[in-house]
Amino acid sequence: LHPEVRMVACIVLFEAKPSVALVSNLAGALKTETNMHVASFAYSHIKSLTRITAPDMASVAGAANVAIKLMSRKLDRLSFRFSRAIQMDFYHTPLMIGAAGSAYMINDAATILPRAVVAKARAYLAGAAADVLEIGVRTEGIQEALL
């Protein structure tokens, strides 16, 4: 499969809140991954999920902690020219409010500009979660127009 399709499949997989066994299986498969863009994206996505504090993502954060221990540390040292995923959140338990943001940058080895950039914001209020904003930009053809 095309690397971009595999990176989007990784996003969809973690949106579905997978079990520890499935995330561990993914971590094992990443050990033999030949495409560094896919490996870097999946590793950065899993690593950012370890820091999630929102209650609806607690099981995913636990599974991500197990997976990070199984994966190679060399993936942590890859530069930003490879594909990346970043997730940050804040959740205040006594007030049951919070916010989360995620950004996905899908790069391609053949281009300078990222192939796609997606950003998403989520709000938590009184135990409910809502995706407030989602923005995506594809840069196909821009590099050819600039050069």
Q: State yes or no: pLDDT of 82 exceeds 80.
A: yes
Question: Could you tell me the CA-to-CA distances from 60 to 17, 117, 136, 144 in Å, in that order?
Answer: 6, 23, 24, 40
- pLDDT tier, 98 (very low <50, low <70, confident <90, very high otherwise): very high
How far is it, in rounded angstroms, from Cα 82 to Cα 104?
11
* 108, HSE (Cβ side, Cα atoms, 13 Å): 16
User: What's the pTM?
Assistant: 0.87
- pLDDT tens for residues 4-46? 899 999 999 999 999 999 999 999 888 888 888 888 899 999 9
pLDDT, position 49? 93
pLDDT, position 131? 93
Q: Calculate the CA 118 to chain-centre distance.
A: 10
Q: Please, which residues have CB within 8 angstroms of residue 80's CB and are 6 or more apart in sequence?
A: none
Q: State yes or no: pLDDT of 143 exceeds 80.
A: no
The strand order across the sheet containing 128-138 reads 84-92, 97-106, 116-125, 128-138
How far is it, in rounded angstroms, from Cα 35 to Cα 41?
10
One-letter identity of residue 36: M
Mean pLDDT in the chain? 89
What residue segments make up the domains of the chain, in order of their start? 3-146
Mean pLDDT of 82-91: 91
pLDDT, position 90? 93
Q: What is the CATH number of domain 3-146?
A: 2.20.50.20
